[in-house]
Amino acid sequence: MDFPRPLHDLPRMLFSVTFIALMTLGCFWVVQPFILGFSWASMVVIATWPLLIKVQHLLWGRRSLAVVVMTLLLLFVLPVSILVSSIVDNSAPLVAWATQPDRLTLPALAWLQDVPMVGRKLYSAWQSLISGGSAPLMSKIQPYIGKAASWLLGQVANLGSLLLHCGLMILFSVLLYLRGERVGMAVRHFAIRLGAERGDASVLLAAQAIRAVALGVVLTAIVQSVLGGIGLAITGIPLPAVLTVTMFVLCIAQLGPLPVLIPAMIWLYWSGDTTWGTVLLVWSCVVATLDNILRPIFIHMGADLPMLLVL
């Protein structure tokens, strides 16, 4: 027997919408741990896709060999993680070594007397502080060592999550490298269904913007690290090549060259070489501000975006 059905069954519609919303939230909850890794992989693959094609041409057109090479290039995360782990493992002996009395030889800082107005007071205060060797100074610093160590361990605790996302990023990158053309065409077809020609143009512009930003970051990091290394070499800082590589890694990580240049300036002033310390201070200000000038120019050269949007 057929029963008449209303044209608009409101309870059924509400139940259907609620069920679909719950299923959507459930799916998002399941895939949430993988979203960050997939986002990283997407940006990395888009930014390095031209390099993959060049490597594939060099390797007799074999995509699998090119993917292996690109994966090995992405695995630079593992040496960094090993270095961090080594620093954490050896931090306790280092702190124990530094806290031993008369282990550290502190400089006299005679140049403090030449500072106008407050130089003699600073010099006398410093001499009274180090008059008993490093033990009085370490006794003042030692209460803060525990807090610093606990903060450091708290930061290192996030290393496991970071390595998990890096591993997922590498895995998704391999899959996208192998099936990049199909994924790209699927995204473009979806964009065409949404916005016709404007949708396709938006997808292409987004890819160009990602590559332009990556190119701008890398080129800016190269310029800043090279100029910073030249400044370190001229002012007589030891191991300028190692510090230059460190600055390049920090610039890629968007931390800038100052974490290397500032300790170098402090070391020059600490050793009494105020002239070269001032020269490095001025040079560091120039190198640090290049980031705000070069990166927008490089990004604008790589993508047809308004300069205001780039900034």
CB 284 within 8 A of CB 259: no
d(CA 172, CA 178): 10
CB 229 within 8 A of CB 247: yes
Tell how far CA 272 is from the center of its chain.
34
Q: For the chain, what are the domain ranges?
A: 197-311
Tokens of 273: 């070489």
pLDDT tens-digit profile, the chain (311 residues)? 455 555 567 778 888 889 899 998 988 888 888 888 888 888 888 888 888 889 889 888 888 888 888 888 877 655 555 455 545 555 555 555 555 555 555 666 666 666 666 677 777 777 776 665 555 556 666 666 666 666 666 666 666 677 777 788 888 888 889 888 888 888 888 888 888 888 888 888 888 888 888 888 888 888 999 999 999 989 888 888 888 888 888 888 778 888 889 889 888 888 878 888 888 989 999 998 888 888 888 888 877 777 777 77
Count the residues in the chain.
311
